[in-house]
Amino acid sequence: MSTSDKRRDDSRASAELSELTLQSQDTDIVTQAPTRAQTDRIRTTDAKSQGRLIRERFFRHKGALAGIALLVAIFLLAFTSIGYAGIPGWWDKQYDVLAARFNEGRPTLTLWPFSLGEHPFGQDVLGRDYFALTMRGIQTSLIIAFVVGLVAMVIGTTVGAVAGYFRGWTEAALMRFTDVVITIPTLVIAAAVAGIVARHGVIPFAIFLGLVTWTGLARLVRGEFLSLREKEFVESAKSVGASSARIIFRHILPNTVGVIIVSTTLAISGAILLETGLSFLGLGVTAPDTSLGKAINDNRSALSVRPWLFLWPGAFIIGIALAVNFIGDGLRDAFDPKQTRVKQ
């Protein structure tokens, strides 16, 4: 194209600019040509990327912000207080050190005037510092929850994406396999396997839990792929010769990120509760290590005498699960592209 052609096109383009100030209105029988200044302003405006829009929407969601604040606070508290993997924390007591019971092991925490005292959450029957024990429990529970979320996300997304994109016998085989995994009751399989797995540590236990909880995500992702693969932009990519891998990863997957993230957060809060349940039944984490569920189980007989042994881990379980659910809600609202603003 010659320069004169370009100039002509420029002037035509500027005539078009009245069209672009309105997002969805196509009523553009052009009546006035915008001034040079207007043109420049429009050209230099930095467009909002999808990611920035999502961030903005997320940060307008008050529940999600509160959830994040709470989760970060719990996370920092648990990992800085008693330290992790040999790194010492600021709390001077260990969760596995027995000591003489002080004032029948009652909590020394007072809110006004604020003071932690010797044993803020009290001591358990054996005289262990219950604050350190709870912190250790939170650490275990959080690690399990996030590993489960990660494993479930990877397996679920892969199975769902492959089944939804390729259809045919691939889909039939994968989805029947998913059905089989769903029909096996988690508790029964956990009872059979978890005892063995748990002896090898927390991480293998978490991976095992991930291996049985990916099914919901796989179905959701498959559903998304089924509808997205029929969209014209996918056909458009096929028509220019994009490979299957490129279509899956570059074109379809980014459009399912919302679903994946949201159901992963929900899977995480589910995993916290599942781990709690299994540990409560004695199928999960074993002594001397502890988790929130195990702490509750160990002290369930003490509910009427020493309720704090029950309350503290219980409160943290609820806090973590709620925080993660709120974050999930916020993410779902932020990722919904049809939504222009967040309802309060």
Partner 1 sequence: MAAHSSTVISDEQSRPADGPILAVEGLGVEFNVDNEWVMAAEDVSYEIHPGEILAIVGESGSGKSMSSMALLGLLPRNGRSSGSARMLGRELIGAPQSTLRRVRGKEIAMIFQEPMTALNPVLTVGEQIREAVEQHTELSPAQAKQRAVELLRMVEIPEPERRYDNFPHQFSGGQRQRAMIAIALANDPMLLIADEPTTALDVTVQAEVLDLLRTLNKRLNSAVLLITHDMGVVADLADHVVVMERGRIVETAPTAQLFAAPKEAYTQQLLSAVPHLGSKVGGVLADVEVVDGRLSIHEEYAETSLREQEGHAASGVVPALELRDVDIEYPGRFRQPAFKAVNGVSFTINPGEVLGLVGESGSGKSTIARAVTGLIRTSGGTVGIGGTDITKLSTRQLLPLRKKFAIVFQDPAASLNPRLSIGDSIGEPLLLHEKPGRAELDKRVAGLLEDVQLPVGFRHRYPHELSGGQRQRVGIARALSLRPDLLVADEPTSALDVSVQAKVLELLQELQRERGFACLFVSHDLAVVELLASHIAVLNKGTLVEQGSTEQILKYPRDPYTRRLLAAAPVPDPQVQSLRREQRSAILAAGNAE
Q: Which residues bind partner 1 (CB under 8 A)?
A: 1, 6, 9-10, 12-13, 16-17, 19-20, 22-29, 31, 39, 42-50, 231-233, 235-242, 246, 250-251, 254-255, 337, 341
Closest to partner 1 by CB, 28 or 329: 28
Any bridge partners for residue 115, and if so which? 110
- Which is nearer to partner 1, 95 or 335 (by Cβ)? 335
Q: Which residue has the tokens 């027995």?
A: 98
| Residue 237 Cβ vs partner 1, minimum distance, rounded to whole Å | 7
Rounded Cα distance between 86 and 147, Å, is 21
Give me the least distance between CB of 41 and partner 1, in Å please.
Answer: 10
- Residue 264 CB neighbours (<10 A): 22
C-beta of residue 285 within 8 angstroms of C-beta of residue 294: yes
Measured CA to CA, the distance from residue 267 to residue 265 in angstroms comes to: 5
- CA dihedral defined by 190, 192, 198, 200, rounded to 10 degrees? -130
Asked if the bond preceding 113 is cis, omega within 30° of 0, the reply is yes
Q: Which is nearer to partner 1, 128 or 251 (CB)?
A: 251
29 versus 37: smaller Cβ distance to partner 1: 29
Tokens 């275990």 belong to residue: 140
| Shorter beta-carbon distance to partner 1: residue 46 or 104 | 46
CB of 240 to partner 1, least distance (A): 4
The SS3 of residue 46 is coil
Distance of CA 300 to the CA centre of its chain: 30
CB of 165: closest distance to partner 1 in angstroms?
Answer: 15
Contact 156, 214 (CB under 8 A): yes
CB of 179 to partner 1, least distance (A): 20
Of 24 and 304, the one with the shorter C-beta distance to partner 1 is 24
Q: How far is the CB of 212 from partner 1 (least distance, A)?
A: 31
Minimal distance, residue 74 CB to partner 1, in Å: 33
Shortest Å distance, C-beta 108 to partner 1: 50
Nearer to partner 1, 16 or 179 (CB): 16
Q: Residue 167 in 3-state DSSP?
A: coil
Most distant CA atoms of the chain, gap in Å: 92
Signed CA dihedral, 257, 259, 261, 267: sign only: negative
Nearer to partner 1, 24 or 183 (CB): 24
Q: Which residues contact 123 (CB under 8 A, 6 or more apart)?
A: 99, 101, 102, 105, 129, 130
Residue 54's identity, in one-letter code, is: I
Q: Which residue reads 């990722």 in tokens?
A: 335
Give pairs for 42-48: CB < 8 Å, separation 24+: 42/17
CA 296 to chain centre: 25
Q: Cβ of residue 262: shortest distance to partner 1, in angstroms?
A: 16
**Cβ-based nearer residue to partner 1, 241 or 288:** 241
